[in-house]
Structure 1
Amino acid sequence: MQWNLFSHAKRKNRFGFADILVILLLLAVLYAAAKLGSGMNVPFSPDRQSSLSLDPKWLPYYAGRSLLRMFIAFAASLIFTFVYGRIAAYNRTAEKIMIPALDILQSVPVLGFLSATVMAFMALFPGSLLGVECASIFAIFTGQVWNMTFGFYHSLTTIPRDLNEAAQMNRLGAWHRFVKLEVPFSMIGLVWNSMMSFGGGWFFLAASESISVLNQDIHLPGIGSYMAMAADAGDTRAIAYAILTMIALIVLVDQFFWRPIVAWSQKFKVEQTEASEVPDSWVFDILRKARFVRDVNRSVRTLLRDGLAGIAASAPRARRSRISPRLGYALKWGLAALALAFALRYVYEGILEIAKLSASELVRVVILGLWTAIRVFVSTLLAVVWTLPAGVYIGTNPRLARIAQPVVQVFASFPANMAFPVITILYLKLGLSLEIGAIPLMMLGTQWYVLFNVIAGAMAIPSDLKEASTMLKLTRRQTWRKLILPAVFPFLVTGCITASGGAWNASIVSELVSWKNDELQASGLGAYIARATTLGRWPEIIWGIIVMCLMVVIVNRLIWRRLYKLAEKKYHLD
């Protein structure tokens, strides 16, 4: 019997076919990243750019360049999420500044960022394409990061009391609390929010790769630029090729990246009874069988543990030093003063620019903002109407989730503005006005924030609570009122906040659409900022962004933040 057990353990730890597949895949990814990354740092001048081609043979290369930008932006978003969300959740003084700042940042249009960041990064990397690449990645980053940060912050503020007490009793330090409690507890919501945020990056891919700011047209190699060129040329065949390539790309990312992570994240679900059905992934099954993955995982954990032990050992010596606290205090206030000086400088310059506008123009922009606010509110409300029942149904049915996840991922990740040319043709033929037609265009890119958050909330409902509702023989209405709605309410509020901010951002591309020489425009702040950005009119850009930020903050303070506090106090697992 002992020999059989030894033989089984030996076979389990043996280097096998799964290891070969994993190593080959890893080498292929590293080679592709190096090959694609080398094209980011080449000589560049706005006057002499490398021309892009609509030949379909270039689509794999363009898709690879776009995907590399997406993952670089996602890695930066993940780091920002952990740092920013944790500080905002545990420092009440900082929270009063950081959360409103997050409201403002998520509402500032991507095109508003591009106007400043393109010039800044080009000055930082003169004569190199790397500057424009960094600006494009930063624009994608701004389309991904806010939803993830809100989701992580929400998870930290709703950690059950008994888990917090257990962490205190075991005297977990900041790092161990982070890796053993905070990240595991927030994992399911973080994964689904990350999928949605990744899709948000796709949404503005065309705007971040085909840049038209300050009367300059800059085109980066990528599928977003390819789609923009095809739309400008009115080449329907090239548009079809781009759409098919995008769908194939999204499915591959879902199968090789997101689905394994969803399957892995189920082990962090807070429940006392194991679920009868859980999401699965053939890629995740291969990774679990590979000895190479276990060895790498063990080595990384050992390295982190030894590094943290060394930091902990040196900490007492640092505390005994008399000069370190003074230096830290001076450094903190010095950096704060420097940041304040920069902020005041740009505020002063912004005021000087806004002063160039007439009073009637200032008032007109505010009125345009109110029109856009109505569209944002209606689009968010319509999104909740269908995503709440659909998200709960998907999240509570693992079999359906296996089928629906890739389908939803395709729709959510597919850049809605790639469908805008087709919708524009439809509007032109039917004679529909964009005043109302802009609302469905906003929903194409923002309704998924609500859906993914509701799915995450439904999947996080513990199996023992579901079994208890079955044993109590609750009716469907009672189950919704007593279990489902309270469980998903915090996730729903998070989704509505990010969807509302995303709708403001999407107004830039939803209120002004074109096909060949035909153009449709709605009366709104989004169209105003888009037009001003293209023409390089800084006073109009700055005032438009300020009005948009103020309106977002006011709505969030009056509606969403109050619902958020209600979710923290009443509707969380405890």
Structure 2
Amino acid sequence: MLQRTFARSLVTVRTWPFVIDLSVGLCALAVFMAVVHMATYWMGSAVPVSPISQNARSLPVYALYSVMRIGIAYVLSLIFAVAYGYIAAHNTRVEAWMIAVLDILQSIPVLSFLPPVLLAMIALVPHHQLGIELGVILLIFTGQVWNLAFSFYSSVKSIPREMIEASRIYRYSAWQRFWQLEMPYAAIGLVWNSIVSVANGWFALMACEMFPLNGTNFQLPGLGSYIQTATYSGDTRALLSGIAAIVLIVVATDQLIWRPLIAWSEKFKFEQVEAADHVTSPILTLLQRSALITTLSNRVWASIEEPIYRRLARTRECRVVQPIDLETGKQRASIGYWVVGVFFAIAITWGAIQCALMLRHVTLSDLRMLLAGAAATFLRVNVALLISALWTVPVGVAIGFNPKLARVVQPVAQVLASVPATAFFPILLIGLLKIGGGLGIGSVALMLLGTQWYILFNVIAGAMSIPSDLREAASLYRFTRWQRWTKLILPGIFPYLITGMVTASGGAWNASVFAEYANIQGRTIQTIGLGAQIQSASADGRFPILLMATVMISLMVVTMNRLVWRRMYRLAETRYKLEG
């Protein structure tokens, strides 16, 4: 009996790594084949209007197209967000301008970017499907990138002072400080905001795969166009099939990607006392046991990484030994700033002139209509933010403090967040119309579907980042519930909450395009608001109206940024910054 048990355990030990390696290899092969298939499709002739089949057998191919678009847009978003946030956090000369620009861009609806981005990409690659696909990917990018940039920026600005001083004492280079301090400290926030970004990618997908532009109805094969076609035709069976496909993809993504990343990012938590409960992931455990991944990491990655660090070390030694001409360095930096500044000044001036020429066609009656719409949408956005914060803060803190609860609730929340809110719009609108509510009030509920997840996931990340030793100290000193919230929880999550509120505000402005204007079974339903005016102007090719509506959104966002959000960020950096 003992020999049989020993033999069985020996076979299991030998078999499992092989099964894991085989699974990893098959996944890599599947990704490679998907890339080849997409490349073949993209290099084909341009087809702006593809027929969309409502047959469920088409769903796997449509799912592949949509997932690849969102995946590529996410990778581009992550790279851009880290670079943008890094520059804004380290360069005080341009920090205020960069954050103001970020506030404006993240609040501009996707449809405002649609005409210039898509037409520019088609002009660059006119004869291949690649031009249209690049335009769609960049549009999805505009719906994913901003909260990632805000997350990285706020994380870098909230790094404890003693950790920054330690990096200076140990003479870290800029690369070492970035890779060994800033990226690890920002990891938890980036992971949770990545979940939100991909969820918002699905939201943007509904607008980017099927849309009217200047009299042409663009249709690209994908789940977004599949669901929109089902909505317009009233095909409930196809609509539910499309939503089910997205839910399956989201659940698979949660188990295979997000849960392992959340468990992995726990090691970057800043605390002196180790938490009793940890987020675990069976997939991460299996990957850590993979002999193939271990071999690639030890031999391939190490052989690439070691020369880089060796070169950086030599460069660092040279900097220590050799004297540095500070005046020459300052002169070069000053010249560089002047060159970049002149380039952007010329570009901004040219763009402003072109915009002014276009805005001449906006009449006084158009302006009155846009002002009324701006007031209505501004009110809806702020009501949606308030309602979102009231329920997401307590729920997010409960999830972040309890890993067992997080294992149950987080996948459900991610599924609900990732299913495009626009997929639920037809059902919600039909119900509202039956009870006589209309879009005037119902648009707030529709905005909530696209904004509340920003705050929830940021609050979860903030609660998870609160060190366990501080929570233990609060328990030892027998804090009351009020004291725990005012002295520990709210100060601890404050930087993350502000990031969530800012990005949720942008999400609300984006959602206004769909919340205030809808087509159901061939019937157009709309209410007064900038979102409805933007969608109507984009469909009809009235670009002056589209531009004026976008300018109004930008002005309102800049005003809110200067009066509210900038002060909140300053408060987060000075009063509510975690110090060891």
Global fold match (TM > 0.5): yes
Cα RMSD over matched residues?
2.3
**CA shift digits 1:476-534 (9 cap, x unpaired):** 22211211111111111111111011101111111112211333211111111110011
Displacement of 1:126 in angstroms is 1.0
The two structures have a TM-score, normalised by structure 1, of 0.93
Displacement of 1:300 in angstroms is 2.1
- Give the 3-state SS of the residue equivalent to 1:250 in structure 2: helix
| Segment drifting more, 181-190 vs 308-317 | 308-317
Kept after mapping to 1: 8 A contact 2:17/2:289: no
Q: Distance in 2 between matches of 1:217 and 1:520?
A: 19
Where does 1:194-205 land on structure 2 (aligned, <5 Å)? Answer: 194-205=194-205
Match of 1:25 in 2: 27
Q: Distance in 2 between matches of 1:13 and 1:475?
A: 53
**Residue 345 of structure 2 is aligned to residue 356 of structure 1:** no
**Residue 562 of structure 2 is aligned to residue 561 of structure 1:** no
Match of 1:44 in 2: 46
Look up the equivalent residue of 2:560 and give its one-letter code.
V
Kept after mapping to 2: 8 A contact 1:103/1:552: yes
Match of 1:108 in 2: 108
Q: Distance in 2 between matches of 1:13 and 1:515?
A: 54
Q: Distance in 2 between matches of 1:518 and 1:211?
A: 16
- Give the 3-state SS of the residue equivalent to 1:52 in structure 2: coil
2:419 maps to which of 414, 422, 430 = 414
Q: Distance in 2 between matches of 1:13 and 1:181?
A: 39
Kept after mapping to 2: 8 A contact 1:136/1:209: yes
- Give the 3-state SS of the residue equivalent to 2:94 in structure 1: helix
**CA shift digits 1:267-310 (9 cap, x unpaired):** 00111111111111111011110122223233324413413544
Where does 1:300-449 land on structure 2 (aligned, <5 Å)? Answer: 300-307=301-308, 309-310=310-311, 333-449=338-454
- Give the 3-state SS of the residue equivalent to 2:52 in structure 1: coil
Match of 1:138 in 2: 138
Displacement of 1:312 in angstroms is 6.6
* Identical columns (%): 42
Displacement of 1:42 in angstroms is 1.3
Kept after mapping to 1: 8 A contact 2:46/2:132: no
Match of 2:212 in 1: 212
Q: Distance in 1 between matches of 2:132 and 2:240?
A: 27
Q: Distance in 1 between matches of 2:178 and 2:14?
A: 32
Where does 1:118-137 land on structure 2 (aligned, <5 Å)? Answer: 118-137=118-137
Q: Distance in 1 between matches of 2:472 and 2:234?
A: 56
Kept after mapping to 1: 8 A contact 2:388/2:448: yes
Where does 1:87-236 land on structure 2 (aligned, <5 Å)? Answer: 87-236=87-236
Kept after mapping to 2: 8 A contact 1:45/1:127: no
Q: Distance in 1 between matches of 2:554 and 2:95?
A: 18
Displacement of 1:334 in angstroms is 4.0
For structure 1, which runs of at least 5 residues remain unmatched after alignment?
1-7
| Segment drifting more, 116-125 vs 285-294 | 285-294
Q: Distance in 2 between matches of 1:29 and 1:435?
A: 45
Match of 2:549 in 1: 544
- Give the 3-state SS of the residue equivalent to 2:385 in structure 1: helix
Distance 1:258-1:418 versus aligned 2 partners, 3 A rule: same
Look up the equivalent residue of 1:122 and give its one-letter code.
I
The two structures have a TM-score, normalised by structure 2, of 0.92
Q: Distance in 1 between matches of 2:419 and 2:433?
A: 23
Displacement of 1:60 in angstroms is 0.8
**Residue 499 of structure 2 is aligned to residue 494 of structure 1:** yes
Q: Distance in 1 between matches of 2:480 and 2:108?
A: 45
Kept after mapping to 2: 8 A contact 1:63/1:245: yes
Distance 1:331-1:479 versus aligned 2 partners, 3 A rule: closer
- Give the 3-state SS of the residue equivalent to 2:42 in structure 1: coil
Displacement of 1:421 in angstroms is 1.0
Q: Distance in 2 between matches of 1:344 and 1:55?
A: 51
Look up the equivalent residue of 1:300 and give its one-letter code.
W
Displacement of 1:128 in angstroms is 0.8
Displacement of 1:325 in angstroms is 9.5
**CA shift digits 1:195-235 (9 cap, x unpaired):** 11111111111111112111111111110011111111111
Displacement of 1:448 in angstroms is 0.3
For structure 2, which runs of at least 5 residues remain unmatched after alignment?
1-9
Displacement of 1:326 in angstroms is 8.4
Where does 1:457-536 land on structure 2 (aligned, <5 Å)? Answer: 457-536=462-541
Match of 2:276 in 1: 276
Displacement of 1:45 in angstroms is 4.5
Displacement of 1:162 in angstroms is 1.0
Kept after mapping to 2: 8 A contact 1:13/1:291: no
Kept after mapping to 2: 8 A contact 1:392/1:454: yes
Q: Distance in 2 between matches of 1:12 and 1:241?
A: 41
Displacement of 1:13 in angstroms is 14
Q: Distance in 2 between matches of 1:14 and 1:448?
A: 38
Look up the equivalent residue of 1:40 and give its one-letter code.
W
**CA shift digits 1:52-80 (9 cap, x unpaired):** 21111010110111001111011001111
Look up the equivalent residue of 2:388 and give its one-letter code.
A
Displacement of 1:380 in angstroms is 0.1
Displacement of 1:545 in angstroms is 0.2
**CA shift digits 1:127-151 (9 cap, x unpaired):** 1111110111111111110001001
Look up the equivalent residue of 1:166 and give its one-letter code.
A
Displacement of 1:37 in angstroms is 3.5
Look up the equivalent residue of 1:402 and give its one-letter code.
R
